[in-house]
Chains A and B, each alone.
Chain A
Amino acid sequence: MIIISVVVLGGIGLISSVLLYIISKKFEIQEDPRIGLTLEALPSANCGGCGYPGCAGFAAACVKAESLDELLCPVGGKAVMDKVAEILGKKVTEVEARVAVVRCQGDCEARAKTNVYDGLKACAAVSKLYAGETACAYGCLAYGDCVRVCSFGAIYINESTGLAEVDEDKCTSCGACVKACPKNLIELRKKGPKSRMIYVGCMSKDKGGDAKKACARACIGCSKCEKACEFGAISLVANLAYIDFQKCCLCRKCVSACPTNAIMELNFLPEREATEAKAMAE
């Protein structure tokens, strides 16, 4: 009895393994080994920030491409791209570090509520039907569509302000949040020296009066910043100022010129400390 069962089971096992071996040989797919190597070098976040479906797709694209000029893993940045270039024996172009910024400062204080939304908590659902809970139709809705798509936990909703905020250290500039925001509030901007940045923290295209009524920190399209800028970095389109980060020299003249504090400065020392630091240096 025991012998029969051992023979039967063993026989089944043997036949199956032979079959498996034959099938795996017959249907084997020859893959470029460099794809695997490249994939190992990538961060495996599968965030899609490169524009390809996951890291494997990107690795295949890297191997196939003539040069790496058009390809960039925003998560790994230069370090990873250098590694990839080494594996593939290709050259990599210099990339500038970028980071996501949320261009809205309409916190609870600045932007009074005009109605209460009570439905599916998703920005895409709200923005399809309503302008939002305030009189501003351009501002942050704070239902966290950007938070849900971020693979790195780099963006969160600040409960006290009711706005999305970016954790610059964690942000990899993959751009998932940029695509997710139905109000187009998020932009990837160049990180200045010491991560300094200046940008207009408002997307309102309303006329000055309407914008100001809806939100105390709205850009009212007064063009004072445009005049203050010495580098021609600021343009005014449809009642809204925009600072071109390629031209901006971080002089901060526009920041002081803005009557509504709509222009944001990030990672600068506060004005007084800056003067002190300068005095110390001298």
Chain B
Amino acid sequence: MLKTFRIGGIHPCENKFSAGGQIRQAMLPERAVIFLAQHLGVPAEAVVKKGDMVKVGTLIGKSAGFISANIHSSVSGKVARVEAMPDMSGYRRPAIVVDVEGDEWEPTVDCSEELTVHTDLDAKDIIKRIADAGIVGMGGATFPTHVKLSPPPGLKAEIIIINAAECEPYLTSDHSLILEKSKEVIVGTALLMKAVGVTKAVVGIENNKKDAIEALRKVKTEGIEILPLKARYPQGGEKQLIDAVMRRQIQSGALPVSVGAIVQNVGTAFAVYEAVMKNKPLIERIVTVTGRGVVQPSIFRARIGTSVQSLIEDAGGFVGNQGKVIAGGPMMGKALSSTEVPVVKGTSGILLLPQEESYRRKSNNCIRCAKCVQACPMGLNPTLLMMATEFGNWQLAEDNYIIDCIDCGSCSYTCPSFRPLLDSIRLGKDKVGTLIRARK
């Protein structure tokens, strides 16, 4: 019996068209737009100005707070502008625009493909290198990694969990990364273990990626267990993964490290390897371009700041009626209002849905079938929370743990009445969060 998390969950149609595909290098953009806020927390501060020349790997934004991350140039060329540009939501955010000239790298970066396994760095140095390289959670949450690796005083990690679940339908970035870079991923995991000072790590990977499990098991490991999990969404959620692997549930509002676990995405493990062993900052990432709306579903290694439009063209362009373009997976990704936006550190995929798959169906009355209740992986009552939000009953929403919602969308996915449950709950969660902060 394969392990999985214990409450709720769904199993959407996987649609992994690009599974097992080779990673292709995406074309260099002509102009890269690099946002100063590609992570959770405080935006970085620009340290270059218009007209400056930058190389690949040059620091252009400096971490500006405790929860913040460095930003590096992903291309070489001249800084064209430092100003607000529209991001995925359409709102303008501070960004650095670089006109690309050639492809010249900072000399400190080791560009060789050779595998490096040994390092004399101690835990503190490893974390410092990770912080310098501006590494953030690559699964999409983009929480700065160095912060996560330094648990607050009093809490001690026992185990590193590497999240290779990739439970989102369509996406296969992590899958291909493991197939091609299994050794690097394992070395990265070992580095993370060393940084935190634990001797045990578990790679949680869904059983629908048998070849990736094989590939990882072939690598000689010490203290690293490869654990196949039953394919179930949202297995890649931090809390769900810990539950699946360790049979421990984090209490409402607590950090994962309170049950002794630190979860890192497999993409992050690879980025950590590159940062520590190759001295390479986070300037590119693996992006799946997929869906029924694209000619050739592909997996790219794309520079941060490349426009989504150029990636789509690289994959052969649209096919059929253009509908939605989603940054990320279909369950938690964000639909783009324009394709002229750049890839950021958290862009795990670009999903193109044709028009017939894009519109929602008209919503009806709640029939109280409780299918959302059974689907919710946090054990909440989504329809009650939606009602509480609609009536503005914030106390009721708070009493029923609206804050614990993880935005996974299982409720809206399941609802036979097509009710926009998560839309409402997100709104209510935001409101209740504001009220709670105001009380403090």
Contacts and interface: CB of A to CB of B under 8 A. Distances in A.
Contact of B420 (A119, A131, A137): A119
Interface in A187-244: 206, 210
A68 to B, nearest CB: 29
Nearest to A120: B423
Contacts of A137: 86, 90-92
Contacts of A275: none
B181 interface: no
Q: Which of under 10, 10 to 19, 20 to 34, or 35 or more describes the interface residues of A?
A: 10 to 19
A131 B91 contact: yes
A115 B322 CA distance: 12
Contacts of A120: 420, 423-424, 427
Contacts of B199: none
A94 interface: no
A25 interface: no
Contact of B359 (A118, A125, A130, A206): A118
Contacts of A206: 92
Contacts of A210: 92
A206 B91 CA distance: 10
Interface string B409-420: 000000000001
Given A119-B423, A120-B424, A130 B337 contact: yes
Contacts of A133: 337
Nearest to A206: B92
Interface residues of B, number: 17
Interface string B54-94: 00000000000000000000000000000000100111100
Nearest to B358: A118
Contacts of A131: 86, 89-91, 337
A118 B338 contact: no
Given A114-B337, A137-B90, A137-B92, A128 B427 contact: yes
Given A118-B359, A119-B360, A128 B430 contact: yes
Nearest to A137: B91
B337 A115 contact: yes
A124 interface: yes
A135 interface: yes
B360 A128 contact: no
A129 B427 CA distance: 10
Contacts of A108: none
B426 interface: yes
A132 interface: yes
B338 A122 contact: no
B50 to A, nearest CB: 15
A197 B329 CA distance: 49
A131 B93 CA distance: 12
A114 B359 CA distance: 16
Given A118-B359, A130-B337, A124 B427 contact: yes
Interface in B396-440: 420, 423-424, 426-427, 430
A129 B430 contact: no
Interface string B89-112: 111100000000000000000000
B200 interface: no
Interface string B194-228: 00000000000000000000000000000000000
A179 to B, nearest CB: 12
Interface string A65-99: 00000000000000000000000000000000000
B334 interface: yes
B423 A125 contact: yes
A125 B90 contact: no
Contacts of A115: 90, 337-338
Contacts of B92: 137, 206, 210
A153 to B, nearest CB: 19
Contacts of B358: 118
Contacts of A118: 358-360
B338 A128 contact: no
Nearest to A132: B90
Contacts of B91: 131, 137
Contacts of A122: 423, 427
Contacts of B89: 129-131
B365 to A, nearest CB: 16
A245 B430 CA distance: 34
B90 A130 contact: yes
Contacts of B420: 119-120
What 7 A-B pairs are tightest by C-beta distance, nearest first? A131-B90, A120-B423, A115-B337, A120-B420, A131-B91, A125-B427, A130-B89
Interface of B: 86, 89-92, 334, 337-338, 358-360, 420, 423-424, 426-427, 430
Given A120-B424, A132-B90, 16 more contacts: A114-B90, A114-B337, A115-B337, A118-B359, A119-B420, A120-B423, A120-B427, A122-B423, A122-B427, A125-B427, A128-B430, A131-B86, A131-B90, A137-B86, A137-B90, A137-B92
Interface of A: 114-115, 118-120, 122, 124-125, 128-133, 135, 137, 206, 210
14 contacts: A114-B90, A114-B338, A118-B359, A118-B360, A120-B423, A120-B427, A125-B427, A128-B430, A131-B90, A131-B91, A135-B86, A137-B90, A137-B91, A206-B92
